[in-house]
With several copies, the nearest count.
Chain A
Amino acid sequence: MEKTIIIGGKAGAGIKEAGRMLAGVLANLGYHVFGYVDYPSLIRGGHNFVTLRFSEEPVNSVDRKADIIVATDGRSIRAHEEDAKEGTVWLINEKEQKEGAVKVPFKEVAPGFFKSSSVLGAVLKLLGIPLEEGLPFILSLPQREKNERIYREAYNSVDSMFEVKRAGERKGEIVTGNESVALGAVDGGLDFYIAYPMTPASPVLHYLAKRKSEFGIKVVHPENEIGVINMAVGVAYAGKRSMVGTSGGGFALMTETLSLIGMSETPIVIYEAQRAGPSTGVPTYTAQADLLFVTFAGHGDFPRVVVAPGTPEEAYLLMRDSLNIAWRYQVPVLILGDKHLGESYFLADIKREKVVEEPKLWKGNGEYRRYEITEDGISPLAFPGQEGIVVKGTSYEHDERGITVEDAKLVKRMQDKRLKKGETLREYILSREDAVVVGGNESSKKVIVTWGSTWGTALDVAKELGFKVVRPLFLEPFPADKLREEIGTAELVVSLECSASGQFERLLNMHGIKSHRNIRKYDGRPFFRDELAEMLGEV
């Protein structure tokens, strides 16, 4: 059994909640499920929708065309006309008209939750799922009694048209990429999450702010992104792990300080969740067009890591690693996500474990030198407050103690130290097993090369179309050799990305990798499975 369900309605009407609860029910029944969340930039009204696909097989993307369309208002009917196909079942609000549609009393009690209860009730019944499966979700809502009544009413108002049976053991939890990032950070030893609100990174701020006591962290919301990143620098200089989160425009404001981070060798993690630009663009939609900006941001030369998870499991693990990497190498680590990874509903099996590695600490006696020149380029860390030593961090070029230098030889000496550290870092990243991941038909001569969240859809079409999918997890340092190896003697290499100018393709080119074709999407939406299959069919 595999089905795609669209649930549409007004913002504030509980559409996202309905989708998430339904995903939860399906997950409990042992299904794989993926949910795409689509909403415009407004608070009440307009049109939101969630597309869920579920199956006994793994699913990592949705189709455009749905088997079931739940339209909780009239606008949703019009909005999804073109997402219907032959045999699509429509559940519509009882006040609306549509031929052949099933009518449901979607309760109009705004805001939110009541409507999501009626959606869940109606859909579960339609799918032939027992009423009890939905109850735990309904009962965890505020105003549970009212919601339960509405849920039951909706359930009873519909006839079953499908028979969705238990599909085995539960495979994991429903999570978003943002939640996985947040958990990874906590388990990587995060002390301070510092952020200014910006879609689609804000959910991390909200998630952590709500649970800060539970997690034993501090969450800070300063005056602007420049305050954010410079505060984070202060925290790290003082010896605590800090991380910031933002999207492209906010990241832009941090780039002056990114260079400071490089120079002062401060360990900082930056989560950059991309959205559709340029500029304010289409702020609640997705894109992969900050890649080159993030990879090369900041004036001057300094080492950095850019890592792009493609799944929530990776988001968790790479985020956790990022904090350790930042501290091990005293570099900025940039986690490049996007709205699609951050806000979609994934079924994921994340095994949480705290992994907080001790960085190279100064254990010496006598004079401490913050920028001591060492063989691997990494200077031992110490923090202000320790008796008898002085810790001098700086934005200027400096000597080993951290005092400004301008002399040519001394300038070169410290640049060389940082280059050396960059080499040490590069060796580590390139030696990682997961620097490049592969999927699909692994022996195929047709290869899709992609990155980040586009992985999901690529994977879902690869099998049926006989493609191998190759994806670097790290964009900088770039695992070019590994990637080349995986591409091997492919006859067709297709690069796939959500960027109008083909930024990923250009990065591949920079590293000597050529694709025969580049498929680009740049309308703010991720690749849909049926759409991508068609595009690849034409290749």
Chain B
Amino acid sequence: MAVTKSLYTGAEITWCRLCGNFGLMSAFAWAVEELSDTIPLEKFVILSGIGCHGKIVDYIDLNSFYSIHGRAPATATGIKLANPELYPVCFVGDGDIYAEGVSHLIFSAKRNSDITVIVHDNRSYSLTTGQFTPTSPSIFKGKSTPEGPPEDPLNPIALMLEAGATFVARGYAGYTDHLKELVKQAILHKGFSFIDVLQPCVVFFNTYEFYNQHVYKLEDVGHDPTDYEQAYRRAKEWDYNSEDVKIPIGVFYKTEKPTYEERV
């Protein structure tokens, strides 16, 4: 059990042992607990796509909408429009939101809808037993592409910067405390918040070791998240394919802009 008792529904957790989703869920639950002074629990609404990641809404005892594949951000936008006091947080997959639902992701960012999107980026369609996704590297030999993907990965950080997201971060499910802080900032940020979470999938793409070796924190190098140019350069340091580079985690960019809910 990766959440404290009060936040746990009691549903059987069916993630694989050591799955990165545990770390991600802990970080979120921890963030919610720490935020609960400012944001009452009933103001959270968590949403999810379909995939291993999606199961998180069954486990956490908060308002939730277990959406369909790729659509959570659209639903979250509707929720926020209908009741601006709520805090919608979408838990989505890399297949889910970089492939099937990429249009909703881009437009949520473009609109600066005041929602948070947390991507369980395991770089695999895992619940469907391991096909390549838009962030799978060339070395990923999935069931639909046994010789590796015939296309290069997307860089979701850069894509979100380009689409107009006002809070753009990358986290690592292996660093729960660091991720917790990102989640808190994302939720508190007024406007569209995006976190791509590097989430090892121990069955189809076990990346713990790789990330442990390659990840570094933007805070540690004095990155200024208010500087778009810097953010963009940092975003480009890793293209989700190379293996011989350092991977920055932390907040790439943060700015203020009127939200969609204010403008509609």
Q: Which residues of A are at the interface with B, using a C-beta cutoff of 8 A?
A: 12, 40-46, 111, 191-192, 194-199, 202, 205-206, 209-210, 218-227, 230-240, 242, 249, 256-257, 260, 264, 279-280, 283, 383-396, 401-404
A43 touches which of B77, B127, B146 (Cβ 8 Å): B127
Contacts of B85 in A (CB 8 A): 385
Q: What residue in chain A is nearest B83 (Cβ atoms)?
A: A238
4 A-B pairs with the lowest CB-CB distances in the bound complex, closest first: A234-B78, A384-B63, A230-B74, A238-B82
Contacts of B83 in A (CB 8 A): 238-240, 383-385
Contacts of A242 in B (CB 8 A): 78, 82
Is B64 interfacial (CB-CB < 8 Å)? yes
Instruction: Answer whether A224 and B129 are a contact pair too, CB < 8 Å, given A230-B75, A249-B68, A384-B42.
Output: no
Is B40 interfacial (CB-CB < 8 Å)? yes
Q: Once bound together, how far apart are the Cα atoms of A227 and B151, in whole Å? A: 15
Check if B63 sits within 8 Å of A218, measured CB to CB.
no
Check if A385 sits within 8 Å of B78, measured CB to CB.
no
Check if B86 sits within 8 Å of A205, measured CB to CB.
no
Q: What residue in chain B is nearest A205 (Cβ atoms)?
A: B144
Check if B78 sits within 8 Å of A231, measured CB to CB.
yes
Contacts of B62 in A (CB 8 A): 390
B122-139 contact mask (Cβ, 8 Å, vs A): 1 or 0 = 000111110110100000
Q: Once bound together, how far apart are the Cα atoms of A253 and B211, in whole Å? A: 36
Q: Once bound together, how far apart are the Cα atoms of A225 and B14, in whole Å? A: 27
Q: Once bound together, how far apart are the Cα atoms of A45 and B86, in whole Å? A: 35
Q: What residue in chain B is nearest A389 (Cβ atoms)?
A: B42
Check if B134 sits within 8 Å of A257, measured CB to CB.
no
Check if A43 sits within 8 Å of B203, measured CB to CB.
yes
| Stretch of B25-33, B50-58, B186-194 on the interface side | B50-58
Contacts of B63 in A (CB 8 A): 384-385, 390-392
Check if A387 sits within 8 Å of B104, measured CB to CB.
no
B144 touches which of A209, A260, A391 (Cβ 8 Å): A209
Check if A238 sits within 8 Å of B57, measured CB to CB.
no
Nearest Cβ on chain B to A298's Cβ, whole angstroms: 12
Of A256, A387, A396, the most chain B CB neighbours within 10 A belong to A396
B203 touches which of A44, A205, A279 (Cβ 8 Å): A44
Q: Once bound together, how far apart are the Cα atoms of A395 and B78, in whole Å? A: 17
Q: Once bound together, how far apart are the Cα atoms of A42 and B145, in whole Å? A: 22
Q: Once bound together, how far apart are the Cα atoms of A240 and B77, in whole Å? A: 13
Say which size band chain B's interface belongs to: 35 or more
Check if B68 sits within 8 Å of A395, measured CB to CB.
yes
Instruction: Answer whether A221 and B145 are a contact pair too, CB < 8 Å, given A197-B131, A238-B79.
Output: yes
Check if A223 sits within 8 Å of B78, measured CB to CB.
no
Q: Once bound together, how far apart are the Cα atoms of A234 and B67, in whole Å? A: 10
Question: 10 new A-B pairs (CB below 8 Å) besides A195-B144, A390-B61, A395-B67?
Answer: A206-B144, A226-B103, A227-B74, A233-B75, A234-B77, A237-B78, A239-B83, A257-B68, A386-B42, A395-B68
Q: Once bound together, how far apart are the Cα atoms of A387 and B86, in whole Å? A: 12
Q: Once bound together, how far apart are the Cα atoms of A388 and B61, in whole Å? A: 11
Q: Once bound together, how far apart are the Cα atoms of A461 and B105, in whole Å? A: 52
Contacts of B127 in A (CB 8 A): 41-43
Contacts of A404 in B (CB 8 A): 11, 55, 58, 66
Check if B264 sits within 8 Å of A385, measured CB to CB.
no
Instruction: Answer whether A394 and B66 are a contact pair too, CB < 8 Å, given A209-B144, A242-B78.
Output: yes
Check if B99 sits within 8 Å of A223, measured CB to CB.
yes
Is B81 interfacial (CB-CB < 8 Å)? yes
Instruction: Answer whether A240 and B66 are a contact pair too, CB < 8 Å, given A227-B74, A234-B74.
Output: no
Contacts of A40 in B (CB 8 A): 14
Q: Which of B106-131 contact A (CB under 8 A)?
A: 106-107, 125-129, 131
Nearest Cβ on chain B to A254's Cβ, whole angstroms: 11
Is B76 interfacial (CB-CB < 8 Å)? yes
